[in-house]
A = this chain, B = another copy of it.
Amino acid sequence: MATGITIGEAARRSGCPVATIRYYEEVGLLRPAARSAAGRRVFGMPDIERLRLIRRLRTMDIGLDAVRELVDAMGRGGAACLDVRDMALAHLEAVRARRAELDALDRTLTRLTATCSAACKDGPDASCTIIADLIAA
């Protein structure tokens, strides 16, 4: 057999931890792997590609349900790339919204810490409003 990849090797090639690969199989993201005589999982290149794709989608914070839909759609061939693109576009919006939240948070934290640093530059000072500002914000 040209391809006889163990789960550890699959983990190395895909970047997914071993336990995570087993978990993906358990929840149906991966079809049940073939087994060796001793009952060990044996993977092939298509499994590795699928894993790499799943992992890539997961690092984009795409939920497992959406990942499952996507990889299944791809498996059925055809117009999958448009589905992928639509998902990517929808996700892009979510990413931008989250980034805007983080920007706002950055500004808030910067302002709060600057206020405290100014009021307490010679040690804690009763005039420091950082806690009250946090409550009021």
Residue A99 contacts which of B85, B92, B99, B113 (CB distance < 8 angstroms)? B99
Residue A109 contacts which of B79, B95, B108, B128 (CB distance < 8 angstroms)? B95
User: What B residues does A53 contact at CB under 8 A?
Assistant: 131, 134-135
- Select the residue from A49, A74, A79, A109 with max chain B CB neighbours within 10 A: A109
Instruction: Report A80-95 CB contacts with B as 1/0, cut-off 8 Å.
Output: 1110110011011001
A residues near B (Cβ < 8 Å) are: 49, 52-53, 56-57, 59-61, 74, 78-82, 84-85, 88-89, 91-92, 95-96, 98-99, 102-103, 105-106, 108-110, 112-113, 116-117, 119-120, 123-124, 128, 130-131, 134-137
User: What B residues does A88 contact at CB under 8 A?
Assistant: 109, 112-113, 116, 130
With A91-B109, A92-B110, A113-B89 already in contact, the answer to whether A131 and B99 are too (CB < 8 A) is no
Chain B's closest residue to A91 (CB) is B109
User: What B residues does A119 contact at CB under 8 A?
Assistant: 81
User: What B residues does A85 contact at CB under 8 A?
Assistant: 112-113, 116-117, 120, 130
A113: min CB distance to chain B, Å: 5
